[in-house]
C-alpha cells in the first residue's frame, strides 16, 4: 500500500459537504474535528516520526468532511517539509489558493490504487462570526496534553484546557 501525506493548511466549510473515501484507501487525521495542528507535529507526520496514533482513520467507502488543503505560506516552508520526508511516503502539496478538496483528489485516483492518506494539516472549521458569538473551543490547537491558543504577539502557545 502506498502512503501519501497531504501537506499544507487545511480547513472545511459546511458548504463543501462530504467526500467518500475510495475503495482500497483510508485517510488518517491527527486532530479532532475543528482543531488545528501544531506545525512541529505536522512536520513529524510528514517525516513519519510522529509518536502517536491518529485520532481517527476513515476507511474505504466511509465519508468524511470534504476538507480542502491549501498551499504552504512560503516556498521555504514547503522545502523544509520536503527535507523531512520519510523514505516510505510521498508528500502532496497544492498551489491552488482556493484549496484542493479531498473529493476532487479522490476522484482523480487510479481506481485500483490502494493508498493510505495521512492528513498533516489542520482540521479548521470555517464558520461565520456573528457579533457577540464566542466560539470557545472551536479551532484550538490540539496537542497531546490539551488544547491551546496561539499568542501571535508573544509567539507561543497558551494552554486553554
- In terms of residue numbers, what domain contains 98? 2-127+134-159
**What is the C-alpha to C-alpha distance for residues 78 and 87, in angstroms, rounded to an integer?**
17
Domain count, the chain: 1
Beta strands in the chain (DSSP E): 2-7, 9-12, 18-20, 26-29, 35-37, 56-58, 63-65, 68-70, 90-92, 100-101, 115-120, 124-125, 140-143, 146-151, 156-159
Give the list of residues 6+ apart from residue 142 with CB closer than 8 angstroms, or none: 31, 32, 35, 36, 37, 148
Instruction: Return the pLDDT at 152.
Output: 66
pLDDT per residue, tens digit, the chain (161 aa), is 899 999 999 999 999 999 999 999 999 999 988 888 887 888 899 889 999 999 999 999 999 999 999 998 778 778 878 887 878 899 999 999 999 999 999 999 877 789 999 999 988 887 766 555 555 556 677 777 888 777 767 777 778 77
pTM of the model: 0.81
Amino acid at each position: 500500500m502506498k502512503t501519501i501525506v497531504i501537506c499544507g493548511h487545511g480547513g472545511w466549510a459546511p458548504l463543501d459537504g462530504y467526500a467518500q473515501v475510495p475503495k482500497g484507501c483510508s485517510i488518517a487525521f491527527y486532530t479532532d474535528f475543528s482543531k488545528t495542528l501544531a506545525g512541529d507535529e505536522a512536520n513529524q507526520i510528514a517525516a513519519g516520526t510522529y509518536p502517536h496514533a491518529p485520532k481517527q482513520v476513515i476507511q474505504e467507502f466511509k465519508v468524511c468532511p470534504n476538507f480542502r488543503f491549501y498551499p504552504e505560506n512560503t516556498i521555504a516552508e514547503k522545502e523544509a517539509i520536503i527535507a523531512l520526508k520519510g523514505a516510505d511516503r510521498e508528500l502532496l502539496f497544492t498551489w491552488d489558493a482556493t484549496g484542493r478538496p479531498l473529493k476532487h483528489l479522490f476522484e482523480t485516483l487510479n481506481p485500483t490504487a490502494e493508498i493510505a492518506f495521512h492528513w498533516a494539516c489542520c482540521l479548521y472549521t470555517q464558520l461565520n462570526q456573528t457579533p457577540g458569538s464566542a466560539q470557545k473551543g472551536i479551532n484550538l490547537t490540539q496537542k497531546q496534553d490539551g488544547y491551546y491558543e496561539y499568542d501571535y504577539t508573544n509567539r507561543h502557545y497558551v494552554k486553554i484546557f
